[in-house]
Amino acid sequence: MNIQPLKYEELEEVSLWLANLNEKDSHFVAWLDSGVEAIKAQLSPLLSFESTLLWVGRNEREIVGFIGLLPFFNQKICRLLGPFTTNAHALESMSELWEKASPIASHYFDIVKVAFFKQNDALTKFSEHHGFYCYNSEKSLLLHKDQATDQELNAYQIDPYQERFNEDIRRLHPQAAYYTPEELLQLINDSENHLWCYVEDGHVKGYVYFEEIIGTDEGEVCFVNVEKGERSQGIGSVLIQYACHKAFHEFGLSLVTISVRTGNPKAEKLYKELGFKEGPTIYAYEKAMNMNLP
């Protein structure tokens, strides 16, 4: 496999290849956007960085591999977009791709993360082989518009994100989440991402963070967090219902997904009571980078 930095003129071809591959549970990698145009929009800015962040592998002219580094420089964290491969010897090919990316990752970042469905057996083996450890697992739940029930919302205490809410959000956000609080506050600058807060007496008691998936009719409730002393009072339910109402009736989406940590049956029960159905489980791995560790 010949691995080279991705060139701008290859972006359309590679984005199509990735979009088709990432639709399959056996290849799915979280954090890669869905759809060709969304992937192009996600990868294009990464081509202008001074160091290479994206690589493509080919057998002659055929694309057979890809790996990317999605950077969060302020937190010294990056998330792997891949490695993807269609080669028969997947672990060997993924390791070759990682050999290209790992020196850059070691130079700029302290932590590298990757998340995927357990059906992605090749990436599971790759992660464990290269010293990544599983720090979280979350079950995906799905709600289709035609299965959602419209309920009267008591949403007068829900406000769109304001900068003055930052400290409350940092306090409420779980440390083991896929995104750090600073990453979350960075992501809401994008127009397709939304943060709504349940506010009492000027303080955030809970929030919901929602992402529209560009190029699709889908969206994801990425985080719902409620202050510990305020739980079991219906705040989480109202926030989720509000996000779904926005998704289906304002954004024109037809599917909303939400994730729940395995081992959190109370939250899973709540989501299912709201109409969500069970989907696949996402496993998140991370690795502390060290120049002496491959």
**Contact between residue 69 and residue 81 where contact means Cβ atoms under 8 Å apart:** yes
CA distance 2 to 141: 39
Query: Contacts by 33-37 with C-beta closer than 8 Å and gap 24+?
Result: 33/213, 33/214, 33/215, 34/213, 34/214, 34/215, 34/216, 34/218, 35/213, 35/214, 35/215, 35/216, 36/12, 36/215, 37/214, 37/215
pTM to 2 decimals?
Answer: 0.75
* Interval 196-234: pLDDT, tens: 999 999 999 999 999 998 878 999 999 999 998 888 888
Q: For domain 141-281, give the fold.
A: Aminopeptidase (3.40.630)
pLDDT, position 266: 87
What residues contact 38, with CB distance under 8 A and at least 6 apart?
A: 213, 214, 215, 216
Q: What is the DSSP letter of 175?
A: T
Amino acid at 92: E
- CB-based burial, 152-178: b 16+ in 10 Å, e otherwise: eeeeeebeebeeebeebbeebbeeebb
pLDDT, position 152: 67
**How far are the Cα atoms of 152, 160, 193, 203, 271 from residue 228, in angstroms, in the given order?**
26, 21, 25, 14, 18
DSSP helix/strand/coil, 278: strand
Question: Nearest Cα to 101, choosing from 127, 69, 140, 61?
Answer: 69
Average pLDDT across the chain, whole number: 92
* Interval 23-66: pLDDT, tens: 999 999 998 988 899 899 999 999 999 999 999 999 999 999 99
2-130 and 141-281: identical CATH topology: yes
**Contact between residue 83 and residue 67 where contact means Cβ atoms under 8 Å apart:** yes
> What's the mean pLDDT in 15-26?
95
> For strand 193-200 and strand 158-160, is the pairing parallel, antiparallel, or unpaired?
antiparallel
Whether the per-residue pLDDT at 293 is higher than 50: the answer is no
Which CATH superfamily includes the segment(s) 2-130? Gcn5-related N-acetyltransferase (GNAT) (3.40.630.30)
CA distance 104 to 89: 24
Measured distance between the N- and C-terminal CA atoms of the chain, rounded to whole angstroms: 19
Q: Where are the domains of the chain?
A: 2-130, 141-281
Whether the per-residue pLDDT at 96 is higher than 60: the answer is yes
